[in-house]
Structure 1
Amino acid sequence: MREEKPLLSRRADTEAVDGSPHPHLGSERPAGTTRLLLLVSLAHLVSHVYILALPPLFPFLRDGLQVGFVELGLALTIFNVVSAVAQAPIGFLVDRIGAQRVLAAGLGLGGLAFLSIGLVGTYAWLLVGSALAGLANGAFHPADYALLSAGIPKARLGRAFSLHTFAGYLGTAIAPAVLIGLALLAGPGWALGAVGLTGILLVAFILPMRVPTAQEQAPAQRSSANSPGAAGRSVFTPAIISLTVFFALLSFSNGAIQNFSVASLVSGYGVTLTQANAALTAFLMLSAIGVLVGGLLADRTRRHGDVAASAFALTALLTLLVAVADLGAVTLMLVLGVAGFLSGVIAPSRDMMVQAAAPPGGSGRTFGIVSTGFNIGGAIGPLLFGWILDHGAPRWVFGAAAGFMMLTVVVALRDRWTAHGKSGAGAPAE
């Protein structure tokens, strides 16, 4: 009896007759894949600029709108809540009307939202515009991943996911400098307007884009995907629910380091602000490099869950080392840099796990559902880690992050253990 493969890896693990790790089907590069990857990655970059468009301008907006930081923070809360609520329904919409249209709509709506905030210049409209931008933000992950899953050959999909993720990292990195620079040159209204116009301009390239068909489906899968009611069934499977938890745990641990490590290091480790920021910079920069390396690795293995679990287990150990040991500034930067690299490596394998769990014709709603895990972690995590710092336990920021990382490892391995149990109990092999 052949061993049953884990549910998270089954559809990604199809093996060719000659024994190579990827089937010949879909391994050729259809015309237009490079343009598809470039435009979708640019859209992802812009979406991350949208996410960070307001925070760098808070000092300008506070003076211009005559409000406090709490009122400005409410705009971010509205953005994230609307995005969290909208993301899964938009995923269903992607599978129903097409990812290309939804991506263009998200870019255009987000662009109009920030352009209007800059033009209107009132606090009331800031809140309305933030809600519109949050709705637009819900379109990007479902549409992006559906386009890449359909248009990029399976043998290159891991690298495509890694470049897409790297573009998002790049957008996060450049947004503060771009927004502050434009605000200093022409004012915050012009800065927001320029960001909005950039997104609107990109729509003109997204809409006429020809999406290649790289992934062929078997006749039974094609019939299932096109059958009545296909858009609404086979979504809340154990694999997809497990992946949503996986994404939430990732958000908890990464958010702890990205948002609270500097405050923790300064208050509890005798580290200067400059040294703490250098350590965080090392973590973030090497995370981006790790994403690219992880893409190469994801295309050379079928065991994406094992890759994610192994890399994140090592990340947890390094993070735990930071929590319990007194490291010098240079050693601290090296340890967090390696931890960042390993945390980046898992991203493409993580995305391949989601793509493998998606039902036929259901990439949009699958990515829409699991990506809400990021919103869950992003909403709860800051409260938890802020509470830890307020209670004078800065080392527990890294200790709790390591704990969430180990839970992430358990979730990544759980499906493989379940599959082994079923196979040993006499379950039919796939």
Structure 2
Amino acid sequence: MVRPSDSAYDELRQVVAGDVDKRPAVILRPVDAADVATALAVARESGLPLAVRCGGHSGAGHSAVDDGIVLDVRNLKTLEIDATGKTAWAGSGVTAGEYTAAAGEHGLATGFGDTGSVGLGGLTVGGGIGFLVRKFGMTIDNLLAVEVVTADGRIHQVDAESDPDLFWAIRGGGGNFGVVTKFHYRLHELGDFVGGMLIQPATPEVVAGVLQIASTAPEDLSAIVNVMAAPPAPFIPEEAHGKLIVMTLLGYAGPAAEAEKILGPLRALATPIADTIHPMAYAEMFPPEDASYRPTAVGENMFVDSVDDAAVETILKQLTECDAPMRVAQIRPLGGAMARIPADATAFAHRDAAYMVNLAAFYTSPADRIAKHEWVTSFRDQLETGTPRAYVGFVGDEDNPERVRAAYPGATYDRLAALKRRHDPENLFRRNQNIPPA
């Protein structure tokens, strides 16, 4: 238990988002599921608002809370790898980078996101879309069971047989149904792997070409395409700083000779400004990070069925006209193994989307934040087609029921709300992209 007067308090209350500065009444740091149950009892009896945090990456600031309880699960670090059975039990405080490095020692991997410091707890209950998503599916597609503490303080072992409804909700429900203390994952053999970053000038032809190649490539390739202002990084020539670039981050789960069939056409689109793509261990996709880096940014997220020439022109126009020191349109081609899971198999329901798009802009002051939020919202409205769709892990607004509905369409939302009434009727777990009890 850490109080405001304790020396560790300021460090422990800090989250990744630089504009989140919450001061909880107490930080509780459990070491097992029984501790979590005790903490939930305190929250129920005191009536204090409760925030659950692991990696602290919530863009909406849900990892922290003013004058309430932060349940900090970062000490839940157990990791048991069954290399023969190709499964692993991991505590929710383990990070994606820690798990990936340990599994990689056995030539195995589970697909997570794109950042090593993200905690498995928040990432997994949201879905998990990263560098292996087209090859092995989302993180939740490789989830076999969980240990979860529900709002009443009971500790459950949940899988598709023991409680299929709760297991369905946990896989994409975004933390509305309990505190998961352990995850049981499927592991995949991952031998040869090619990964890294390719940076090229951002022209309509390059953007369209990268997306066409990445979306039609074999499922061994998963890519994250960032159209953005070039940062003043040492690996980017100074004359390119601030200019629009296409930074393609990719992972190819196969031999280098096969990857080259894709890399050749990619590189031929334009002379690379930087090219770090090479055969590597998959764990190298999660390099060490600067723990002091706390960006101030606003963002929007959506799923779209196409990014046509008109959309590419809109992306380049919006990024050119924006004055944010850093602004980006990130496009993730989907499909593959992720799309073969039925839409109603998990609480994540957007299996048929061709692309996930994230828009973001850094800001410099409170007034600038308002302006940049208006910019990303308008940008989203210009690209979004059809019924709004969103990924709960990247919804940035702290309290926006419309975006929650976009994450959970129609019957999915209704089923989640009914399960919320069963498992958390008082809405104890409400500091999230919330689904109130039906």
Q: State the TM-score, normalized to the length of structure 1.
A: 0.26
Q: When you count strand as a share of all residues, which structure comes out higher? A: 2
Q: State the TM-score, normalized to the length of structure 2.
A: 0.25
> Which structure would you say has the larger RCO, counting Cα contacts within 8 Å and 6 or more residues apart?
1
Q: When you count helix as a share of all residues, which structure comes out higher? A: 1
